[in-house]
Chain A
Amino acid sequence: MNGKTPKKVAGWRQVGLLSSIPFILALAPIIGFVIGQLLDRHFRTRPWLSIILLLLGFVAGVRETIKIVKLSQQED
């Protein structure tokens, strides 16, 4: 990161970043499923888009988690 981050602030950033992992892991598939439901209703493709976007949401959650862990390990 740029400049010099005070140690306490770096700690809070870690708290913020790491505690958002469970939210992102749980929410990304839910968002995918909800968008899939809306698209399924619109295109009459029930339940395929919901299932596909649920799986992609899971992938997105894992991908964001890896990005967050990498970011939290960066030196200040």
Chain B
Amino acid sequence: MTIGRDILDRALRTSWVVAAALAAALAPAHPRDSIAILAGQLVAFLHFIFLRKIVKLFTEGRGFALTIVAKIAVVYGGLLVLMAWGKMSYAPLCIGFALPFLVLFLRSMMLAFGAGPSSLTRRGALGLGASLLLLVPARAHAEGAKEAATELPNWLVILHDFNPNNPAISWLEKNQIIVFAWVAGLLFLFLSWLAMRKPKMVPGHFQNAVEWMVESMEDVCGGLLGPEHIKKHFPIIGALFFYILTINLLGIIPGMKSATSSLDLTLALALITFLYVQFWGIRNLGILGYLDHLAGSPRDAIGWMMLPVMLPVHILGELAKPVSLSCRLFGNIFGEDTLIVVFVGATALCLKASLTALAVPPMAGITALFMMLQTLTSIVQALIFSLLATVYLYMMLPHEAHAHEEATSAH
């Protein structure tokens, strides 16, 4: 069995375990939600089973069309019937549907970090089991509270609690994502100015550190784009990296908040990347060349007949890339914030119940560990966002190997 197939099988098994555990935890209070989670999981499971069959038949060439028709009827028909039925709420259905994708994502990440597929089951099961154990009491606690907290209070929230009737503070509290995005932007500008206001031939520690970071990032992106393109595009790629890094790291400071834990900001950053990449696509290929690229470069009668299909497919593919960038950044940073809140909450609960021995060493230790992990993932997520933006730009720029690949796939 190949590694890819092995990982898919294990991911599907793990997702069934997680779905069953979630459904069991929800069944007493919300039986319909637990059924919706299992239904979503079943549809996603069938999606992957059909996908594997289609890939296998694609190479063998027999029964390919029939399997596609069966997949459309079973998976998409089933999904539409479930949605049209109206007795299941969309949120648990979507959670159930997303579970195998989530497990597959975690497994691919762990594989990339060097863990073998056999150890993935244990680690994945442990991680997901721990998450489930945390989810059930957290949900029970959230039901008791008026509003579930998903992040630690920042200075704007505290200020608003002390001055609830002040309109200026209320406005700032309501628009806290914009405020913290501006704080991070100004901090980034201030640090850059501080490092380079009096550049010296023999740099000091701070100037040296900033120059090393900028040069390293330029080398990394230059390795992907090439020396002639990197000079032109590094200002935006470098700015994206250092801006996202500043925003992410700001969340570690007590009283501050990572603005990237909001989908609004990550979508805005992805929109900037999307518009920049499309702008350079139009500039390099020309309007007609760009439209030709979007239409899948039709050169014969079949190509022109496929135009109504290929054009929306290309457009949806181009749209999916930036949205996936923003969802990943948002999910990671929001997840980290929520995890820290859960552990801080658990520490507080233990202290309230006079369980100091349980609260301080293990709980506070785990919280500190997660905060250290947050520092690492803040850097990694900023790096991945800017590296993928570079890769998307690379795919749009004129390039010999790329042109050759396009020509080969066209034939």
Q: Which residues of B contact A76 (CB under 8 A)?
A: 223
- Total number of residue pairs linking A and B with CB closer than 8 Å: 132
B57 contacts partner chain A, Cβ-Cβ < 8 Å: no
Query: For chain B, which range describes its interface: under 10, 10 to 19, 20 to 34, or 35 or more residues?
Result: 35 or more
Known: A26-B98, A27-B324, A56-B312. A6 touches B223 (CB 8 A): yes
Which residue, of A12, A26, A70, has the highest number of chain B Cβ atoms within 10 A? A26
Partner of B320, one of A14, A28, A70: A28
The answer to whether B316 and A28 have CB atoms under 8 Å apart is yes
The answer to whether B321 and A64 have CB atoms under 8 Å apart is yes
Known: A16-B388, A22-B101. A54 touches B76 (CB 8 A): yes
Complex-state Cα separation, A24 to B104, whole angstroms: 13
Q: Which residues of B contact A57 (CB under 8 A)?
A: 316, 320
The answer to whether B219 and A20 have CB atoms under 8 Å apart is no
Q: Which residues of B contact A15 (CB under 8 A)?
A: 109, 112-113, 384
B interface secondary structure, majority: helix
CB contact list, B261-276 vs A, under 8 A: none
B80 contacts partner chain A, Cβ-Cβ < 8 Å: yes
The answer to whether B387 and A16 have CB atoms under 8 Å apart is yes
The answer to whether B109 and A63 have CB atoms under 8 Å apart is no
Tally chain A residues at the interface, Cβ within 8 Å: 47
The answer to whether A9 and B323 have CB atoms under 8 Å apart is no
A1-12 to B contact mask, C-beta < 8 Å, 1/0 = 111111001011
B309-321 to A contact mask, C-beta < 8 Å, 1/0 = 1001110110111
Distance (Å) between the CB of A73 and the closest chain B CB?
A: 11
Q: Which residues of A contact B355 (CB under 8 A)?
A: none
Distance (Å) between the CB of A32 and the closest chain B CB?
A: 5
B391 contacts partner chain A, Cβ-Cβ < 8 Å: yes
Partner of B104, one of A9, A22, A35: A22
B108 contacts partner chain A, Cβ-Cβ < 8 Å: yes
Complex-state Cα separation, A12 to B223, whole angstroms: 13
Complex-state Cα separation, A9 to B386, whole angstroms: 12
A71 contacts partner chain B, Cβ-Cβ < 8 Å: yes
The answer to whether B320 and A24 have CB atoms under 8 Å apart is yes
B383 contacts partner chain A, Cβ-Cβ < 8 Å: yes
Distance (Å) between the CB of A15 and the closest chain B CB?
A: 4
CB contact list, A23-38 vs B, under 8 A: 23-28, 31-32, 35
Beyond known contacts A64-B321, A67-B395: 16 more, CB 8 A cutoff: A1-B394, A2-B229, A3-B224, A3-B226, A6-B219, A12-B383, A20-B328, A23-B324, A24-B317, A28-B317, A28-B320, A47-B80, A57-B316, A58-B76, A59-B309, A60-B320
